[in-house]
Structure 1
Amino acid sequence: MHARSSLTVLATALALLGTAATATATAATEPLSRPRVTAHFDLAGGQQPENITVGRDGSAYLTFSFARQMVRVGPDGRTHVLATLPAPAHAQTPNLGKAFVGGIARAHDGTLYVTYATGTADLTGVWAVRPGGRPHRIAALPADGLPNGLALDERTHRVYVTDSVHGVVHRLPASGGRAAVWAEGDALKPSTFAGANGLKLHGGALWVTNLDKGTVLRIPVTAHGTAGAIQVRATGMPSIDGFSFTGRGDTLLAARDDDEVDLVRPDGTHTAVLTAADGLRTPTSVAVHADRVYVPSAAYLTGADPNLLTARLDR
């Protein structure tokens, strides 16, 4: 996430910096192939996809950040609105000024969990919606923060959430209840706009990106469930947003707001594997399902053609 349309100068500077930091590709690069845009969204209607999770049948579940919606894009490319979160009377969302739906996760029973930031105490927090049900808030989060990335641990029945303004990771029961700060530290803090951002559980640890600092972080989950020492696993990726692992190892694919998806190897080296030439328009997140990669683009910086791109992952 960053959706910083109100901070155009800063966004442009970050995009230029990111372009200089990594060599660009002209089309999909190994291990990705056959990229194509499978769905186009309505920018005027606020259909800007922020985060994604994928169901067993290959359907993509997305958040539309400023439309306040959770949607499903079927294998046929058609979009179905599943729920719309209530609008605040007067949004005061930090950095954005308007209501923002961020991260999404899907439980095995079909329940969807999302983060919602409005700048108001009555709505900011984690929301859930069961299949056929209505969305309801399961936990409040600080109104002066920006809840963003979300990860669900069904084994321990916990939900983890990044706050990009405060630069912390919260944890709360998946059934609902009080949220508490689980991890904090300088590595998670913002430097100019947004810090802790994308979030994934993988290999006994919580992995987090820091948008401002262009880093990938690993936070071990100890035997007692507490946060271990924060480890920096990759650097030099300004505007890094959401990400996904390619398999059991620590190789991952990370979306960057400067129209790039990078392959990040376990040693921290990274290479651009998708660019604007493939159809990216401010990509915000990545999902991997079987041999397919899904990349939503929110068009925050391009102002045109929010979409969902898919590509083949050659393992």
Structure 2
Amino acid sequence: MPGHRPTGLWRRATLGLAALLVAAPTHPEHASGTRLDDVRVLAHFDRAVGQVAESIALEPDGGVVIGMIPARQVVRVAPDGVVQVLTTMPLPPRGDTTPVIGIPVVTGVARSDSGALYFLYSSGQGGLTGIWQIRRCGEPRLVVPLPADTMPNALVIDGRRDRFLVTDSTGGRIWQAPLRGGEASVWSADPALAPAGFFGANGLKIHDGAVWASNSDHGTIVRIPVTEGGGSGRAEVRATGLEGIDDFDFTGRDTEILAAINQTSKLVRVGADGTQETLLDAEDGLQGTTAVAVRGNRAYVTNGANLAGNDPTLMLAELRRG
């Protein structure tokens, strides 16, 4: 709603996570791997109404769909930077609170190959929390309900198996549900996904025959192999030392990753061998970096400005692969 700002509980929770961070090396001079050029701001968002940019879904024309946390909105950013609000979710009628965060939030977004747009809403209330679809006409519809005590965060579509996958940050789980809608079930509750006081499983991607997830509290990226029947294998930690990691994406160079480190406002390159390099930081305009999405030679980065600064943005950079 207009003028809404995150509650004190929201600020305390995010500040508590910030205390877990460790320093990372910045801008090494002789590192190899993907570089970023022509870094620029594509769009600014309205922090005063809660437009804390969280997640990214890319569209074929160069547009971007973004979830806005406390504003409870999904917005589209056109290739020229024009911002359009697609939907604003209602407040829970009973005034329920969400786990840890305390306020109702829109988080992950995803786009199917057919162009359907989906997003996650966490309200602390059954019948509202879950996966929602944005319709061309009419209000959004709930396609997959999730338990009221979950904190759904990242949303991906597994097109090969016609299903959604969703991280549950406070429950330390990954849920699955049919793409057509219906009942969700736990796909993995591996201990590597568990939180340590705030958020566990956070970002989520499908790559290299596996599901990959970040763990904010533990500062890790884990790889969970997908079995022949579509089930989950045992998680393997592929990167450490990334405390406060939010979302991430692959650069297209083997298993090299770009990781958004929310609490220190950094974008970190993680090599296939786990080596790390900070590519962008606060000096480059990052403020509470939340998500990154790669398409071709472009990387889109969202800044929520939820801890540092007051200018949430969508940034765009050109990739130069080494």
The TM tier, using the shorter chain, reads over 0.9
Letter in 2 for 1:91: D
Residue 12 (structure 2) aligns with = 6
Secondary structure at the aligned position of 1:6 is classed as helix
Q: Is residue 73 of structure 1 aligned with residue 77 of structure 2?
A: yes
Identity percentage of aligned residues: 45
Count, aligned residues = 308
Residue 306 (structure 2) aligns with = 300
Secondary structure at the aligned position of 1:24 is classed as coil
Residue 278 (structure 1) aligns with = 284
Q: Is residue 167 of structure 1 aligned with residue 172 of structure 2?
A: yes
Which of 32, 42, 63 in structure 1 is aligned with 2:46? 42
**Matched-pair contact (CA < 8 Å) for 2:92–2:125:** yes
Letter in 1 for 2:27: A
Residue 269 (structure 2) aligns with = 263
Distance 2:289 2:96 in 1: 25
The 5 A counterparts of 1:110-129 are 110-129=115-134
**Matched-pair contact (CA < 8 Å) for 1:37–1:308:** yes
Residue 138 (structure 1) aligns with = 143
Aligned-pair distance for 1:91?
3.2
Cα-Cα RMSD = 1.7
Unaligned runs of 5+ in 2: 1-8
Residue 4 (structure 2) aligns with = none
Which of 287, 291, 316 in structure 2 is aligned with 1:310? 316
Aligned-pair distance for 1:278?
1.0
Q: Is residue 288 of structure 1 aligned with residue 288 of structure 2?
A: no
Distance 1:168 1:11 in 2: 19
Distance 2:126 2:59 in 1: 32
Q: TM-score, normalised by structure 1?
A: 0.94
Secondary structure at the aligned position of 1:305 is classed as coil
Secondary structure at the aligned position of 2:315 is classed as strand
**Matched-pair contact (CA < 8 Å) for 1:190–1:196:** yes
Moved over 6 A (4+): none
Partner deviation per Cα, 1:103-152 (whole Å, 9 max, x = no partner): 11101222111111111112111111234453111111121120111110
Q: TM-score, normalised by structure 2?
A: 0.92
**Matched-pair contact (CA < 8 Å) for 2:99–2:150:** yes
129-138 or 56-65: which moved more? Answer: 129-138
Distance 2:170 2:152 in 1: 8
Aligned-pair distance for 1:11?
3.6
**Matched-pair contact (CA < 8 Å) for 1:4–1:300:** no
Which of 245, 251, 254 in structure 1 is aligned with 2:256? 251
Secondary structure at the aligned position of 1:7 is classed as helix
Distance 1:134 1:280 in 2: 34
